[in-house]
Amino acid sequence: MRRFLLIAFPYVWLLALFLIPFAIVLKISLSDVALARPPYMPQFSWDEGIGAFLSQLDFENFTFLTTDDLYWKAYLSSLKIAAISTVLTLFVGYPIAYGMARAPEAWRPTLMMLVILPFWTSFLIRVYAWRGILSQEGYLNQVLMWTGVISEPLTILNTNIAVYIGVVYTYLPFMILPIYAALDRLDGSLIEAAEDLGCSRRSAFWLVTIPLSRPGIIAGSFLVFIPTLGEFVIPSLLGGSGTLMIGKVLWEEFFNNRDWPVASAVAIILLLILIVPIVLFQKNQQRQAEAEG
Amino acid sequence: MSRLSPFNVVSLTLGFAFLYLPMLILIVYSFNESQLVTVWAGFSTKWYGELARNEAFLDAAWVTLRVAFFSSTIATVLGTMAAYVLVRGGRFFGRTLFSGMIYAPLVMPEVITGLSLLLLFIGLGLDRGILTIVLAHTTFSMCYVSVVVSSRLVTFDRSLEEAALDLGCSPAEAFRLVTLPIIAPAVISGWLLAFTLSLDDLVIASFTAGPSATTLPIKIFSAVRLGVTPEINALSTIMIGIVTVGVIIASISTKRARVKAEADERMAQRTA
């Protein structure tokens, strides 16, 4: 009995507040817009029966998504922005993780804490901080003009470049930590062996260190790529009108256009796209666990 | 392998400068006299005074704290139960679905979680307010708690629980007297994680909040969209300060606990 309750409580909670809401999104994505409250139809009613209800559902919203340029462009552009920022985060994060793994043992807990600390600080505030830095009269332009690198202020805020910077900045800990974990486990004698066998330090790095830290690189990349794909805060605070990301499109479709069925259809497609990287990520994690176990 | 090359030193220095400079600038300019955030006009704490008089922000902060407290507390209870069931529960009907529902919210884009919960609340005819935000935050943060707690439960020596059961404890007593004290640090960090996730959440709260309850992130977001203001800088500084102090205290206390545990172990070995 006690075991039953232990399982039932979290189970029922998740069914009610995760699975059922999701089923509702799926259902509304197959419904039509209506000038009513709530603004979609058909409404389910037991009187008419399930058959009549199901027969009114259709894929119209999904065909609409394929006919209007905005949506597939937004999906493509989200994929592109997520991919570019993931690569940039890797280039910024790897040297930091590598430096941490080579730092003296006594420093490492402090360095770890310094990487994790920003993660506990408000995401919104960390994104907001860059608005002051990147704007026309912002600190970056002030410094660059003062040092004479540029004579005209650069326009960075409200462009995709600002979005890349924002993603790299906020998701950097997710990249650093798995790579650091992989490098920390790496057996130093393998590198010594490579060097003894005539590798230069640099080629030992490319031939031994990088391949052995691959699981960390893959894990970190997915941990950045997956959440960036549906990101809303960064494109809306740092991006411009030209920054097309699907999270922002969904938000506007829902709050500004009040088109719930289309917003739901946008959500369903986004999830279908996300399945691929999520499954690949899971596989990577499993392989790693097996290799260790 | 602790041989720091010049390249390592440079990349660490630049990396941490990149991580911390933006926040440092934010903090410094919160003490700026001028309304123009990008021009330094002398030291002043007047924006903190302005903030303390801003009723709308204070109300939102109070709502946010209450939501975070309730949602993280319920999430910790549910998440710990879920972790225990997943690690120790054995087989039961629908176990795969259950573990799927624990992990899916972690990768679900926030816009979708928010949208789906809003549609549920409207379907149920629930008025949007503190209650709906608490329900929403509990749902996604219980999954984070469950992941944190189950990673501790997995490494936990099961024979300790079995010994307690052999010595006449009921399963509930074994959990309370043996399991809970051992997993307590994970439960506490799960609670802290849930609390900060709730404090921080903009997207899900925007979907599930009603006109009667606005959280701080929603207020900040709408102010920030219009531009950078010194008041928001002051607010950010306070939030960064609280988090920094919290994390430092937490890391010192876990370090103390570890040192004490190691000392206890040595004592136990000596007496044995």
Q: Do A172 and B19 touch (CB under 8 A)?
A: yes
Adjacent-strand bridge partners of A126? none
How big is chain B by its Cα radius of gyration, in Å? 23
CATH of domain A69-292: 1.10.3720.10
Chain-centre distance of CA A123, in angstroms? 13
Alpha-carbon distance A55 to nearest alpha carbon in chain B (angstroms): 21
Domains of chain B with CATH codes: 58-271 (1.10.3720.10)
The ipTM estimated for the assembled molecules is 0.87
Minimal C-alpha gap between B272 and chain A (Å): 32
**Could A137 and B38 be called an inter-chain contact, meaning their C-beta atoms sit closer than 8 Å?**
yes
User: Tokens for B90?
Assistant: 């054995």
Among B40, B41, B26, which residue's Cα sits nearest to residue B234?
B26
Residue reference for tokens 């545990």 = B261
Phi, psi of A40 (to 5 degrees): -155, 160
Domain spans, chain A: 69-292
Cα separation, B236 vs B194, whole angstroms = 20
Place of tokens 């409200």: A158
Find which of A81-95, B76-90, B166-180 is predicted with most confidence, using mean pLDDT.
A81-95
Tell me which residue of B28, B49, B45 sits closest to B37, measured CA to CA. Answer: B28
Instruction: Give, for B69, the enclosing helix (H) or strand (E).
Output: helix B55-88
With an 8 Å Cβ cutoff, are A251 and B111 in contact?
Answer: yes
* Cβ-proximal residues to B94 (8 Å cutoff; 6+ apart), any chain: A11
Taking the C-alpha atoms of residue B263 and residue B257, their distance in angstroms, rounded to an integer, is 10
- The CA distance from A7 to B194, in Å, is 21
Cβ contacts of A104 on chain B, cutoff 8 Å: 2, 4
pLDDT at A240: 87
Cα A110 to Cα A170, B215, B247, distances in angstroms: 20, 33, 12
Q: At A166, phi and psi to the nearest 5?
A: -60, -45
In a mutagenesis test of the B interface, which of A37, A125, A271 is the best target, namely the one with the most B β-carbons within 10 Å? A125
Return d(Cα A156, Cα A238) in angstroms, integer: 9
The verdict on a CB contact (< 8 Å) between A92 and B247 is: no
Cis before B185? omega within 30: no
Cα distances from B245 to residues A107, A192, A243, B150, B251, in angstroms, run: 20, 41, 37, 27, 10
Name the token pair of B190: 């799960």
- How far is CA B106 from each of CA A207, B101, B182, rounded to the nearest angstrom? 35, 9, 25
**Full pLDDT tens readout for chain A, 293 residues:** 778 888 899 999 999 999 999 999 998 888 877 666 667 767 665 566 666 677 777 788 888 887 888 888 999 999 999 999 999 999 999 999 999 999 998 899 889 989 988 888 889 999 999 998 998 888 898 888 888 888 888 888 999 999 999 999 999 999 999 999 999 888 878 888 888 888 888 888 888 889 989 999 999 999 999 999 999 999 999 998 888 999 999 998 888 888 888 889 999 999 999 999 998 988 888 888 888 76
Q: A51-60, B100-109, B149-158: which range is least confident on average?
A: A51-60
